[in-house]
Homo-oligomer: A and B are copies of this chain.
Amino acid sequence: MIKAGVVGATGYAGAELCRILSGHPQAELTAISSVSFEGKALSEVYPAYFHMCDLVCTSEEKVVEACDVIFAALPHGLSQELAAKCAAKGKVFIDLGADFRLEAEEEYKEWYNGEFIHKELHEQAVYGLPELFRENIRGKKIIANPGCYTTAVPLALAPALAKGYIEKDGIIADCKSGVTGAGRKPTQNSHYPELNESFTAYKVASHRHTPEMEQTLSHVAQTPVKLTFVPHLLPVNRGILATCYAHLKEGVTKDMLQGAYQEAYGKEYFIRLLPEGRVADIRNVRFSNFCDISLHVDPRAGMLVAISAIDNMVKGAAGQAVQNMNLAFGLDETVGLKLFPPAF
């Protein structure tokens, strides 16, 4: 049994990790920590967990000490020192935050206003989007787990881009996210009466996940890609729907596109390419590690519309982190993750 620990267990991503790890047949949730709730049981913070996960929050140090793999579900900026502690003790470190996601320190500075404290750790870190970079991840010890938008958008566009079927300019990612993406902390925006029956965009074309998506897509395209990214906040708990637009190169047909996606994803357990006539819907992936993708073509405008749906807390956070753990420890990638999405 792999001893797994979660630092930042009382945030939404951390809590979801605890839930998923509790059902993993080859890992054991061994220790958890929380700065705000040290000494309290996780089930005191989340009464839904009563009798299912009554583990008491301890300190970060104890988690590192007790576990083989440490998941960090921390606010951005707090993972670098923790990664160093894990590295010093030879532990596997999987970061759900953004500290190790950007390869270029100048981009990290520009968008996060931070710096690379331990440069050698950044060199060891791999980007944990298994469907695109699986071979890099196996057996690694520092894994930067992508977030929700940065999983949904690249998965929607990668095969078309890799095949050169779409233009690299003018790509648009119009994304809609459930509220859990904003975290557990109450704010005016997430206050029920103000979010209910509302819908709006935020950080229009200025969200800091933009360079991370561009980094992934540029690797796929093997040439720099820029995109316009506009996130919106949906009055639902879970889910990301990414509606991605790209100009089709001349002569590219729907069949060619279907073929490319089939080739790229046909054997991926967690990607469901939807049959003709269906559209990806966040409802169908809730509580699962699936990424549903549907392809659409606007022949009048020569436009590809690729739509992906994930559960932002699972494939967009905790589920993918466990998928990365499985890869890091040489397990079957799907162990503990064949989560059945409910119909309602």
A contact set with B: CB distance below 8 Å? 12, 15-16, 19, 22-23, 46-53, 169-170, 172, 174, 176, 178-180, 184-188, 190-202, 204-205, 210, 226-228, 230, 232, 234-239, 241, 243, 245, 247, 272, 274, 278-288, 290, 292, 296-298, 300-301, 303, 305, 307, 309, 313, 338, 340-344
Contacts and interface: CB of A to CB of B under 8 A. Distances in A.
A307 B230 CA distance: 11
Contacts of A185: 191
Nearest to A240: B199
A132 B235 CA distance: 32
Q: Which 4 A-B pairs have the closest CB atoms?
A: A205-B298, A198-B283, A200-B281, A186-B186
Contact of A191 (B52, B186, B228, B307): B186
A278 B50 CA distance: 11
Contact of A228 (B49, B188, B303): B303
B48 A199 contact: no
Contacts of A236: 196-199, 235
A338 B19 CA distance: 12
| Most B Cβ at <10 Å: residue of A172, A192, A298 | A192
A290 B49 CA distance: 11
A191 B190 contact: yes
Given A198-B236, A234-B199, A344-B238, A300 B226 contact: yes
Contacts of A338: 52
Contacts of A340: 19, 22-23, 49, 52-53
Given A186-B191, A199-B234, A235-B192, A343 B48 contact: yes
A287 B205 contact: no
A170 B342 contact: no
Contacts of A290: 51
Nearest to A303: B228
Given A180-B344, A192-B195, 17 more contacts: A48-B285, A48-B342, A51-B290, A176-B176, A179-B196, A184-B188, A197-B282, A198-B236, A199-B281, A199-B283, A200-B309, A202-B279, A204-B305, A204-B307, A205-B301, A205-B303, A287-B287
